[in-house]
Amino acid sequence: MEEKMFLYWGSGSLPCWRVMIALEEKGFGGYPNKLIEFSKEEHKTEEIIKLNPRGQVPTFRDGDIVVNESNAICQYLETRYKNHGTRLIPDDPKEMAAVLQKMYESSNIQENIVSGVVYYQWRNKLEERDEKVFEERLQKARDELSRWEKHLEQCKTGFIANTTAFSMADVYFYPYVAQMDRFRMDLLKYPNIKAYYERLKNHPSFVSTYPPHWKDTEKPDLLSRI
């Protein structure tokens, strides 16, 4: 089955990581793939552009079907291969709603922490940064984390959507937390988020898809001020 699939991906890209976890969970581990180097602009090569005119990864092919947006790929895999591998979106309406809610709500982390704080530092050199603006962004990031901390405090099952089993919401949420750790955020300030991270750190599909360059390069200090 998996032989007909192909994934172009970049190390450290959360949309790519999300898709790779979903592929493992759905039982397609071992699919052919190509790791592209962002620094060499390999996502802008003809090989990718012809499948994905936006020149982005993930770029995914399943036979002659091409899907490129990470949300689209995850939903495609779960819908088309519903009973293959792990069920990631439950049938029970209440659990289904909770999973979908947390999957898409996690995009606020992208906005308030990744774009708001990480990208701000990448785009503005230290001497160009407006300390007041930066502090406002850090505060938004802290507010965002407090929401998830409070939510996890009330979660009984240990999974982010409070479902009885691992779900697509964990596929979406966990990489954000691993990225916070990578960027030297002090997770001790958010004990329930830290506990979630420790609990799921050894989940097989998270381990096998962990961004390779994160393993052997120094952690950049991008979130220690949160």
Binding-site ranges for a copy of itself (CB under 8 A): 53-54, 62, 64-73, 75-76, 79-80, 89, 93-94, 96-97, 100-101, 103-105, 107-108, 147
- For a copy of itself, the closer CB: 45 or 101: 101
* Minimum separation from the CB atom of position 176 to a copy of itself (A): 16
Token code pair at residue 119: 């990208």
Contact indicator for 19, 74 with CB cutoff of 8 Å: yes
Q: How far apart are CA 175 and CA 88, in angstroms?
A: 16
Of the two residues 65 and 207, which places its CB atom closer to a copy of itself in the complex?
A: 65
| Residue 201 C-beta: closest distance to a copy of itself, Å | 27
Q: How far is the CB of 129 from a copy of itself (least distance, A)?
A: 17
Distance CA 129, CA 124 (A): 6
Please say whether the beta carbons of 225 and 138 come within 8 A: yes
5 and 27 Cβ atoms separated by less than 8 Å: no
Check: CB of residue 6 under 8 Å from CB of residue 31: yes
Positive or negative, the CA dihedral 37, 43, 46, 50 is positive
By C-beta, is 53 or 126 nearer to a copy of itself?
Answer: 53
Q: In whole angstroms, what is the distance from residue 21 CA to residue 215 CA?
A: 17
Cα separation, 196 vs 154, in Å, equals 12
Q: Are 8 and 59 in contact (CB under 8 A)?
A: yes
Distance CA(23)–CA(205), nearest Å, equals 9
CB of 70 to a copy of itself, least distance (A): 8
Q: How far is the CB of 210 from a copy of itself (least distance, A)?
A: 25
Taking the complex as a whole, the smallest distance from the CB of residue 208 to a copy of itself amounts, in Å, to 25
Nearer to a copy of itself, 97 or 207 (CB): 97
Q: Hey, what are 58's tokens?
A: 């993930």
